[in-house]
Amino acid sequence: MVDTPAPDGRAGIDAGLVKRLIAAQFPRWSGLPVTPVQIDGWDNRTYRLGTEMTVRLPTAEGYAPAVAKEHRWLPELAPALPLPIPRIIARGVPGEGYPFDWSVRGWLDGDVATPERIDDMADFASAVAEFVLALQRVDATGGPGAGAHSFYRGASPAHYDDWTRRALAALDGRVDTARAAAVWDAALQAAWDGKPVWFHGDIAANNLLVRDGWLAAVIDFGTSGTGDPACDLVISWTMFSGASREVFRRAVGQDSGTWARARGWALWKALIMLEKDIDTDPEQAAVHRRVIEEVLADHARFA
């Protein structure tokens, strides 16, 4: 996490609300400063509380179930993982006009993983693969099966079939929709029938913290659960390329069907985001196009 102020106000959440919630529910911390972090997610707002803690508040009802899930499971996952993950300190309840449960966690030093902050991208890819595999080895008995709380990460990408087909229709003539449809169909045909394992659900640059050029922590388990781990391979196309992608692929293993479903997850997100941005945000549209092209090339090479 980083410590530079960011704009307040999304979903009616601001530093003032956080101060009021802390004062009402955890008065022992009421004298500590509250500062918004610079790089924040869409699902939650995060504020630094003093120097050693953060406060994390869901921005909408759909994200609220993650609070109870993370409070239940992060303490059990942490000892088995090779990197620090958020440490649960306290759980808040609705109040001061805010309608959802919220959480207080330990501060994790580091910056979000951007290429210029990483000393060696291939080594970084290997470390990410090690984390993914360690998470998969944790006993999944009784864990939260994929569903609405994980936005169906860990389930079949078929949950998003209608959405994907609409995006393909909308982008017809603007991307290679015939090849993209073939990749999507292959993902749906590669049905997963394995034993449920733990997945993070959003292994991405903003949820990977680096310090001194190296992977230092993994945050935001809001879409985590137990099921199919294919969604955790999407970073292969969204962050890695060339040698780092090859290192990640070899290190993380996984069978061909899992990679086919992973391509489906990556394609679904890139298509729907491209549809949204193609006429309004050329810079972001170029990012989504690159992911689509990389996924299509990967399918041609390995399918």
Give the helix/strand (H/E) hosting 128.
Answer: helix 121-137
Q: Is-contact 272 163, C-beta < 8 A?
A: yes
Whether 219 contacts 251, CB under 8 Å:
no
Strand pairing category for 44-49 and 88-92: unpaired
Count CA within 13 A, CB hemisphere, residue 153: 26
CA distance 134 to 129: 9
pLDDT in tens, the chain (303 residues): 333 333 344 568 999 999 999 999 999 999 999 999 876 667 899 999 999 999 999 999 999 999 999 999 999 999 999 999 999 999 999 999 999 999 999 999 999 999 999 999 999 999 999 999 999 999 999 999 999 999 999 999 999 999 999 999 999 999 999 999 999 999 999 999 999 999 999 999 999 999 999 999 999 999 999 999 999 999 999 999 999 999 999 999 999 999 999 999 999 999 999 999 999 999 999 999 999 999 999 999 998
Q: Which tens digit of pLDDT belongs to each residue from 83-124?
A: 999 999 999 999 999 999 999 999 999 999 999 999 999 999
pLDDT, tens digit, 9 for 90 and up, residues 72-93: 999 999 999 999 999 999 999 9
Q: Count other Cβ atoms within 10 Å, centred on residue 89.
A: 17
Residue ranges and CATH numbers for the domains of the chain are 10-107 (3.30.200.20), 112-302 (3.90.1200.10)
CA dihedral over 239, 244, 245, 248, signed as positive or negative = negative
Query: 45 near 36, Cβ under 8 Å?
Result: yes
The token pair that represents 178 in the structure block: 């015939």
H or E element in which residue 70 lies? helix 65-77
Of 69, 115, 75, 78, nearest to 208 (Cα)?
A: 115
Give the 3-state secondary structure of residue 214: strand
* pTM of the predicted protein model: 0.93
Residue 12 is predicted with a pLDDT of 82
